[in-house]
Amino acid sequence: MRRLASRAQREREGLFVCEGEDLVDAARAAGIEPVDLFVAGESVAAEVLAEVSNLAHPPRVVGVFRHADLPQSSARPCALALWRVVDPGNIGTLIRTADAFGASLALSAGCADPTGPKALRASAGAIFRVPIAAFDDAPQPWVGLVARGGTPLPDVDPRDTVTFVLGSEREGLPPDVERRCEVLATIPQEPAAESLNVAVAGAIALYEWSRR
């Protein structure tokens, strides 16, 4: 568990840690069993589990899972493709949002690790249900979301299949990614407002697609 606190080690071993009964129960509900299960006071001393926990209040149950057991591919008609979104809380929230709307996710290099502790907690167990692919594998057509200057999102022709492409809040989408998009869309908001949080923008885009 100590080793798996490192992203590099998680990638090397193909394993990650879920702290808490809710995440472990979500995995099992999706048919995914842990490689190892630690239960405080049973299989391991509670104080030992507390030493390696990332939580302020150590959990009673911790599971170790395989990356390879997570959903790998999808025939879902809608996806979110994230370009260099580095905040793990946003990654986890977008996984949870994709789950709510029946969408999948695609991540570029430079995105936060979806199996890191903060992302897992934010996903609320959706990590075990939402397929996650590489950025370039996101299905076409792509609709790029930009803060200003795009076609208003409600005016974009609805498609049966679509990928909404979102960039980091600071840098947005680079020109080469924008050129790969069929259309650039903007979520209408008040002129004086700052750009939306990327997780909020993703939720609005999925809702707009689902209702149409």
Backbone φ and ψ of 187, nearest 5°: -80, 120
Per-residue pLDDT reduced to its tens digit, 181-208: 999 999 999 988 888 999 999 999 999 9
Query: Which pLDDT value is given to residue 153?
Result: 96
Confidence of residue 54 (pLDDT cuts 50, 70, 90): confident
Query: Which pLDDT value is given to residue 128?
Result: 98
CB 168, CB 85: distance < 8 Å: yes
- To the nearest whole number, what is the mean pLDDT of the chain? 94
User: Strand, helix or coil at 7?
Assistant: helix
User: Strand, helix or coil at 41?
Assistant: coil
Query: How far, in Å, CA of 22 to CA of 91, rounded?
Result: 19
Query: Which pLDDT value is given to residue 84?
Result: 97
**Six token digits for residue 208:** 């707009």
On the question of pLDDT at 38 being above 90, the answer is yes
Confidence of residue 57 (pLDDT cuts 50, 70, 90): confident
Domain ranges of the chain: 3-69, 78-211
Query: Which pLDDT value is given to residue 210?
Result: 93
Place of tokens 């690790």: 113
CA-nearest of 11, 27, 168 to 86 is: 168
What mean pLDDT is predicted for residues 29-42?
96
Per-residue pLDDT reduced to its tens digit, 74-132: 789 999 999 999 999 999 999 999 999 999 999 999 999 999 999 999 999 999 999 99
Query: Which pLDDT value is given to residue 191?
Result: 87
Query: How far, in Å, CA of 208 to CA of 202, rounded?
Result: 10
- State the pTM of this model: 0.94
Beta-carbon contacts of 197 under 8 Å, excluding residues fewer than 6 positions away, are 90, 169
CATH for the stretch 78-211: 3.40.1280.10
On the question of pLDDT at 73 being above 90, the answer is no
Angle between helices 198-211 and 88-100 (to 10 degrees): 10
Topology annotation, domain 3-69: 60s Ribosomal Protein L30; Chain: A; (3.30.1330)
